[in-house]
């Protein structure tokens, strides 16, 4: 059983909704990333999505775009993200970490070499935002060779045929994007038609289904998690950290009430 499967099975067996914070590696500072990851775990994160800073993050709204730009200015990229995970693993061998990013940096290294390095650093899975399922075969195979999990992404516009294909390959968890658009700009699951898609996904998916895009706080997390296995929170956390004097304290203070709200659903 993989680290993600183990962690999620234990949570869901306890009726615990999955809480997945996203942060950009290297923002708000290079030094804060690993301490913030530990702080998020203390506040109740079940998995951490670590964003690999990328110069052209086309699925991201202003918050994460700017966060990515700031991190790149500090010199952060794929190499730095891997170093963070390696350092995180010295103190935490339980909490899964997924690298979230775009194809280009992985492609430059080569999928097999990337997967080897990622697993050696202690990364559990990877989500490549701009790699369509139809073209992902060789990447999935290379990842599988190293034991790096393939995290699939489904949007409201995904056809039922593609949804089935994505579900076939899904490992770890399936990420449902709550609206068509970019991160941090909309409101999650306001639209009724979404709940139908989510129910269908739950039926098809061999792994837990989590919802991201537009979850900002305890209230929205609770609403969204009611119909899913868990939630992802990115932009609101990234903004909070970048405005904070002490990002470690701010990370904990941000996530704790969200954890409590989700636990209140039990």
CB 46 within 8 A of CB 3: no
DSSP-derived secondary structure letter, 153: E
Q: By C-beta, is 41 or 120 nearer to ligand IGP?
A: 41
Cα 158 to chain center, whole Å? 19
| Binding of residue 215 to ligand IGP (CB under 6 A) | yes
| Binding of residue 129 to ligand IGP (CB under 6 A) | yes
The residue with tokens 């970019």 is 182
Region 42-81 residues binding ligand IGP, contact defined as CB under 6 A? 49, 51, 59-60, 64
DSSP string, 48-96: EEEE---S--TT--HHHHHHHHHHHHTT-SHHHHHHHHHHHHTT-SSS-
| Binding of residue 23 to ligand IGP (CB under 6 A) | no
Q: Which stretch binds ligand IGP (CB under 6 A): 26-34, 77-85, 103-111, 232-240?
A: 232-240
Tell me the per-residue interface mask from 161 to 200 with ligand IGP, x by CB under 6 A, - otherwise: ----------------------xx----------------
> In whole angstroms, how close is the CB of 162 to ligand IGP at the nearest point?
16
Q: Which stretch binds ligand IGP (CB under 6 A): 35-43, 88-96, 155-163, 229-237?
A: 229-237
Question: Rounded distance, CA 148 to CA 141, Å?
Answer: 10
Q: Which residues are catalytic?
A: 49, 60
Token digits of residue 117: 């390095």
């Amino acid at each position: 059983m993989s680290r993600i499967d183990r962690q999620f099975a234990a949570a869901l067996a306890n009726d615990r909704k999955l809480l997945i914070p996203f942060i950009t590696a290297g923002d708000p500072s290079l030094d804060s990333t690993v301490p913030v990851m530990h702080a998020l775990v203390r506040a109740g994160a079940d998995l951490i999505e670590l964003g690999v800073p990328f110069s052209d993050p086309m699925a991201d709204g202003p918050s994460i775009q700017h966060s990515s730009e700031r991190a790149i200015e500090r010199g952060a990229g794929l190499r730095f993200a891997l170093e963070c995970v390696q350092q995180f693993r010295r103190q935490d061998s339980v909490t899964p970490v997924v690298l979230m990013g775009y194809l280009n940096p992985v492609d430059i290294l080569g999928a097999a070499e990337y997967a080897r390095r990622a697993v050696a650093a202690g990364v559990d899975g990877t989500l490549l935002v701009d790699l369509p399922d139809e073209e992902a075969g060789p990447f999935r195979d290379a990842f599988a060779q190293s034991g790096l999990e393939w995290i699939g992404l489904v949007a409201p516009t995904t056809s039922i045929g593609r949804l089935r294909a994505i579900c076939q390959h899904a490992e770890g968890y399936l990420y449902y994007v709550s609206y068509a658009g970019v991160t941090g700009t909309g409101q999650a699951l306001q639209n009724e038609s979404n709940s139908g898609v989510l129910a269908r996904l739950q039926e098809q998916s061999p792994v837990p289904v989590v919802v991201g895009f537009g979850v900002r706080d305890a209230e929205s997390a609770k609403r969204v998690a009611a119909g899913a296995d868990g939630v992802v929170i990115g932009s609101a956390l990234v903004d909070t950290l970048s405005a904070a004097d002490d990002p470690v304290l701010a990370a904990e203070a941000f996530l704790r009430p969200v954890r409590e709200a989700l636990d209140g659903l039990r």
